[in-house]
């Protein structure tokens, strides 16, 4: 099952037939494993990774992404879970992680502009009880996301070997 999920995570467009061939398993076994993973919620959704810089012709339509580190005061019995779940419900938030280090949570947030992200942090995030501080880091350029490189692949400059 793990091998099937790892292949789908790398490329969600792989068909059960292709996966079965790659893993030398019966197609029906692969189909059943995928159906079980979908039914149990192990597969949350299928998604494409898009390099929007290559798509958008209108530079004003760009979306701004920021990583926001959040320091919290933990609460007895729930720790950080209740605040993390509340932050995750905001539409602007793409992901929330409990992390080690000097901060407690790291959220990935998107907005139409730097000002929109700034407003989110100052008006919504910072006003949540037990949030002690935030540190916002704006993404300036994406080199790799979800295992996909966004930089051009360098051509192979080696000389061809001929017999």
| Segment 37-90, tens digit of pLDDT | 999 999 988 887 777 677 766 666 678 999 999 999 999 998 999 999 999 999
Radius of gyration for the chain, computed over Cα atoms and rounded to the nearest angstrom:
21
The CATH code that applies to domain 55-140 is: 3.30.70.920
Burial status of residue 104 (CB atoms within 10 A of its CB: 0-12, 13-18, 19 or more): buried
Q: CB under 8 Å to 59, separation ≥6 — which residues?
A: none
Angstrom distance (rounded) from CA 147 to CA 6: 12
Alpha-carbon distance of 66 to 87, in angstroms, equals 14
Sequence spans of domains, the chain: 2-40, 55-140
The pLDDT tens digits of the residues spanning 2-15 come to: 899 999 988 889 99
């Amino acid at each position: 099952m793990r091998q099937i999920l790892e292949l789908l995570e790398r490329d969600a467009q792989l068909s059960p037939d292709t996966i079965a061939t790659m893993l030398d398993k019966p197609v029906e076994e692969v189909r059943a494993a995928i159906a079980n993973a979908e039914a149990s919620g192990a597969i949350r959704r299928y998604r494409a990774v898009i390099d929007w810089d290559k798509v958008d012709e209108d530079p004003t339509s760009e979306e701004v992404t920021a990583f926001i580190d959040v320091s919290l005061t933990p609460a007895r019995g729930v720790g950080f879970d209740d605040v993390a779940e509340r932050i995750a419900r905001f539409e602007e938030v793409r992901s929330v992680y409990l992390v080690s280090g000097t901060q407690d949570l790291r959220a990935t947030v998107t907005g139409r502009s730097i000002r929109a992200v700034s407003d989110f942090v100052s008006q919504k995030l910072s006003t949540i009880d037990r949030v002690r501080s935030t540190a916002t880091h704006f993404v300036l350029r994406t080199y790799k996301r979800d295992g996909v490189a966004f930089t051009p692949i360098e051509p192979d400059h080696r000389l061809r070997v001929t017999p």
